[in-house]
Structure 1
Amino acid sequence: IAGLVGDRFPADSRERANHCDQLYFTDTCFFQDAERAGFTAPSRYLPLAVDPERFRPGHVSRDSELLFVASRTGFRESVVRGLNEPARVMGTDWSALAGEGFHHVQNRKIRRSALIRLYQRHQAVLNIRNEANVEHGLNQRSFEPLACGTVVLNDDLADLPLCFEPDREILVYRDAGELNALVARLRREPEFAVQVAAAGRRRVLAEHTYEHRVRTLLCDLQL
């Protein structure tokens, strides 16, 4: 039995976890949490992944407007409010931001097929972690836009260098100043966006598909 842990878990998860032959954590911070919770099953880091057959570049022109697709959290809203230029924001619970009129907000869920088309049609995607679920780990927005040939602007996370080369395959910001500087550079230098996105896509296809993850599981479980 293999157990994949992708979000923070309650302290009473020990019994279920220890029934597994192997545990996989998508966030390296979870190793400490697991030790405190008394997990004894072998564990290793295994990041999320992407299906490159679904998430792939489209044959359309790209919009330079920054795209962010996710449900609202307090931390995410604070980052979006720090942007100097309007962005396209899509997801649930953004009604307050929508009412202000600065950003182009669609306060609703979208289907996976629509998400893929959005990634294909935008030059850059903003990624902001959900502070309630992760500490160091990457989410799907670190992988899926890159598979579509779209550059990702990711908040600074400890696990990023385990998956990508920062500033060559994925762009990293630590505060509002750095984020706005990156957005401005992408507008000035669209060829820079193309270069970073292409490098990121190559890394995704080489190391971060579901096929790679399944191979890891089968090897570890000797199947």
Structure 2
Amino acid sequence: MKILIIQENGRNDANRHMRECHSLAYWFEQLGAETACWGKGHDTFHIPFEQFQKDYDVIFCLENYDDGWLPDLSSIKKYKVFWSIDSHMELQNHLKFCQKSGINLHLNAQLPYIEHFKDFAEHHMWWPTAVDPRWFKPMDLSKDIEIGFVGSMIADRPQITKLLHQCVGLQSFTNVLGQEMVDLTNRFKIGFNKTISNDINMRTVETTACNVPLITNVTPGLEKMYNFDSDIMIYRSLKEMIGVCQWLTSDHAARQQIAQNGYKRTLRDHTYKNRCQQVYEHIKSI
């Protein structure tokens, strides 16, 4: 099987190697597939897509934000896959892309949005966010941050993080990328998360893959990925959020157990190896 993966390459040197397209390429290759990446910023981008795609059996697009460079897939007679990671942000554009491109397999990282695509692809699969354990893993670093958040300060995060800073001393970090982000996460005794919508974000699997206990808000499908109050800690309100943060910061044994449970669950079920195996077997069965 030869798979052509479409996504813009990473724009920052610090985390370009962690871009989703490179993880998909690596783990599909571990299954025996031949792969290549094409898109803005890749070395192959100078080759016209119509010419480049001829040698491939499967076109796998995971570009979620088109700024005009995405190729027209409508006339290409290959098995076409689209992974909508950010349906909660780009739903209408993703629906239009599927309809125009003649997508065979629609993957969605956000469970509530799959139903919107039922008329725009032949097959559908819930394909939640995943982690590449080559990059996100436990590091032997001092746990000198009691509870930390790393990510962009958008939506209600500024208000939430300010409140938790006042209540439990939460430390927040932005614009931290690549290995620096992995190292920072490993310094947390507790990793805090707040999604921007009803999505399951990358922070969920990245934090747990670092063997750090996670506290996050509940979003649809999360209960299918992790056991609440065992693999991860969750909250549904500001009161619950403050309460669980206060409790976990004071209970070392609980932190250790939750970190271990979440880490094992992520490595077992939520790596790119798991996700690629699922799609690889689906395509081979057709």
Please name the residue that 1:23 is paired with: 106
Q: Residues 166-204 of structure 1, C-alpha deviation per residue, up to 9 Å, x if partnerless?
A: 110010011222122112212221110110010000001
1:191 and 2:253 equivalent? yes
Please name the residue that 2:144 is paired with: 63
Please name the residue that 2:18 is paired with: none
Please name the residue that 2:84 is paired with: 5
Please name the residue that 2:132 is paired with: 51
Q: Residues 119-172 of structure 1, C-alpha deviation per residue, up to 9 Å, x if partnerless?
A: 1111111111123xxx2x311111011111101111011211111001100100
Classify 1:194/1:12 alpha carbon distance in 2 versus 1 (closer, same or farther; 3 Å).
Answer: closer
CA distance in 1, matches of 2:144, 2:242: 17
Q: CA deviation at 1:58?
A: 1.3
By relative contact order (CA 8 Å, sep 6+), the higher-ranking structure is 1
Please name the residue that 2:217 is paired with: 155
CA distance in 2, matches of 1:51, 1:13: 25
CA distance in 2, matches of 1:185, 1:14: 43
Percent identity over paired residues: 20
1:119 and 2:198 equivalent? no
- Bigger Cα Rg: 2
Please name the residue that 1:171 is paired with: 233
Please name the residue that 1:96 is paired with: none
Classify 1:58/1:162 alpha carbon distance in 2 versus 1 (closer, same or farther; 3 Å).
Answer: same
Contact 1:146 1:200 in 2 (8 A): yes
SS in 2 for 1:43: strand
Q: CA deviation at 1:42?
A: 1.4
Tell me how large the CA RMSD over aligned residues is.
1.7
TM-score by length of 1: 0.83
Between 1:60-69 and 1:120-129, the stretch displaced more is 60-69
Q: Residues 69-114 of structure 1, C-alpha deviation per residue, up to 9 Å, x if partnerless?
A: 11112322232233212211112xxxxxxxxxxxxxxxxx122111
Classify 1:14/1:57 alpha carbon distance in 2 versus 1 (closer, same or farther; 3 Å).
Answer: closer
TM-score by length of 2: 0.66
Contact 2:105 2:121 in 1 (8 A): no
Gaps of 5+ in 2: 1-79
CA distance in 2, matches of 1:10, 1:158: 16
Q: CA deviation at 1:210?
A: 0.6
Classify 1:20/1:191 alpha carbon distance in 2 versus 1 (closer, same or farther; 3 Å).
Answer: same
CA distance in 2, matches of 1:195, 1:209: 21
SS in 2 for 1:211: helix
Code of the residue aligned with 1:193 in structure 2: it is R
CA distance in 2, matches of 1:15, 1:149: 39
The number of residue pairs the alignment matches comes to 200
Gaps of 5+ in 1: 92-108
Classify 1:77/1:210 alpha carbon distance in 2 versus 1 (closer, same or farther; 3 Å).
Answer: same
Code of the residue aligned with 1:53 in structure 2: it is R
Code of the residue aligned with 1:60 in structure 2: it is L
Contact 1:66 1:87 in 2 (8 A): yes
SS in 1 for 2:186: helix
